[in-house]
Chains A and B, each alone.
Chain A
C-alpha cells in the first residue's frame, strides 16, 4: 500500500499528511489531523455526524469522501466554526434555544446548518428541512434544531444590519 503525501487545509491550517487511496477524509481528519469534533457515525452517509464543509461551503459527508481527493482543497470542520472568543451565530442559537442535547450529532448538525446559511442566508422552511434531513438527531427530534436555525437567521440579519448602520 503506497501512501501519497497531500496537503490538507483544515480550518486554514495546512497539514502534510500521508494518505492511502482508501482512507476517507473522516479518517484522516480524526486520526492524523487529530481533530475529533467531526464524529464517526454510520460511515455510510445516512446519519450526517461526519459533516464538514468543502471549499464551496457545501456540506460534505467526510465518511464518503476520499482524503486523496482533498489535496490542497480547504475543509472547514466544527473546530473552525467559532471565532476566537465568540461562538458562531448558529452555535449561539443552538445553545440558547436548547438544540443541543447529547452532543454526538451536534457537530454534524452545526456544520449542516452553517453550510445552509453560508449558501442561502434566508432559507424558507422547505430549505431548512431539506438541509437538515441528511442529519439525524434522536434527542431533539429536530424540533429545537429547526427553531435554532430560524433564530440564527434572525440574529445574522440583525448583526448585518447593525454592521451596515455603523458604516465603514
Chain B
C-alpha cells in the first residue's frame, strides 16, 4: 500500500502550528508518530491536503509534576518513554500498563500519547483498502446511511480502542487543548463522543497539548483481553483506580475500553465496591453488575454475548488486582 500525495509542514513553534491549524481546517491532518494516521492514509480513509508534524514541538514534550502534585504529560511524548517512565511506573502503574498495551513495542517507539488520545475508531468494514471497501455498501463512515455492525444504528458504531484512555479516565485525567484563540481544559471523559466518526470534541484549529492527572494517591490497574499479548487491538480492556483501603474505599473508577465508540464508565460496579468494600462477594457482585452499565456494545470481531462476559471477567480481575496492590508510595 502506498501513501497518497500530500504536503508536509513542520512548524518551528507551537504558535506557528496553531496558526497553520487555524487557517487550514480539515484539509490538514496532525501528524504525531504516524503509526495510525499513515495507515489510514494508505487505506484512503482520510484525504488531507497536508500533514502538520507536531511531535518535535517543545510545548508538547515532558513529564512533570507541579507544586500541587498534578502530573503533566506532554502530548508529543512517545509511548515507549512513558511506559517505562519511573514516575508513571511507580505512581500510576495502571497508566504505565495501559500505555504499554498500545500496539507493539515497534509502534510505541514511534507513537505519541497525543496520537493515542485522538485515535480514530476502528471497524473491519471501514479500516480496509479502498478496493476492499468497493465490495460493501458505503456506511456512515464512508458517506453512506447504514452501520454494517449494528443495522439499526443511526450513527457509526466503530470501536474506540485507544488503550491509554480508559486508564487516564480512571485517574480522572484532564486534557489541555490549545488553539490560536486560546487554551481550554476539560475532563478527558468529556472529550469523547458516542459517535464512531466524530468521536471527540476537538474543535477545528485545536491541538492536544498535554494530559493532566490530578494529585491523588491511588492504586491503579489496567488489563487488556486481546488474542495476542504484545500486538493487538483488545476485545475489551478495563482500567480501575482506587482510593482508600480495601475495607473503606474512598473512590473508585472502572472504565471499559474497546467495547464501543467511546470508553464506558462502570458506575454500578464501582458503587457496589464503594458501599461494601473489596471482598470476594462484592467483587463477584460488581462483576455481575458490569453488564448493566455496558448497555449496547459493538460486537465486532467477536460474536454477540462475548464482550459482556469478558468485561465481567475483567472487572473481577481488575478488582482482585487492585485489592492485592500496595498503595503507591507518596513522594
Contacts and interface: CB of A to CB of B under 8 A. Distances in A.
Is there any pair of Cβ atoms, one from A and one from B, under 8 angstroms apart in the complex?
yes
B109 A60 contact: yes
B29 to A, nearest CB: 12
Given A44-B42, A61-B106, 10 more contacts: A22-B4, A44-B1, A54-B109, A58-B80, A58-B109, A64-B38, A69-B53, A133-B105, A133-B229, A134-B106
Contacts of B5: 1, 20-22
A60 B34 CA distance: 11
Interface string B249-272: 000000000000000000000000
B229 A129 contact: yes
B88 interface: no
B327 to A, nearest CB: 24
B90 to A, nearest CB: 18
A24 B35 contact: no
Contacts of A24: 3, 38
Interface stretch (A45-53, A99-107, A154-162): A45-53
Leading 10 A-B pairs by shortest Cβ distance? A133-B230, A134-B104, A21-B8, A134-B106, A22-B3, A58-B109, A44-B39, A133-B231, A64-B38, A43-B1
A22 B44 CA distance: 13
Interface residues of A, number: 30
A60 B8 CA distance: 20
A66 B4 contact: no
Interface string A9-32: 000000000001111100000000
B51 interface: yes
B6 interface: yes
A46 B231 contact: yes
Nearest to A2: B7
B34 A65 contact: yes
A112 interface: yes
A163 interface: no
B106 A112 contact: yes
Interface string A134-168: 11000000000000000000000000000000000
A66 B8 CA distance: 10
A69 B109 CA distance: 15
A130 interface: yes
A68 interface: yes
A131 interface: yes
B107 interface: yes
Contacts of A68: 8
A115 B39 CA distance: 23
B228 A133 contact: yes
A32 to B, nearest CB: 15
B240 interface: no
Given A21-B7, A134-B104, A66 B229 contact: no
29 contacts: A21-B6, A21-B7, A22-B2, A22-B6, A24-B3, A24-B38, A44-B1, A45-B103, A45-B107, A51-B106, A58-B80, A60-B106, A60-B110, A64-B35, A64-B38, A64-B110, A66-B8, A66-B34, A66-B38, A66-B51, A130-B100, A130-B105, A131-B105, A132-B230, A133-B228, A133-B229, A134-B104, A134-B107, A134-B230
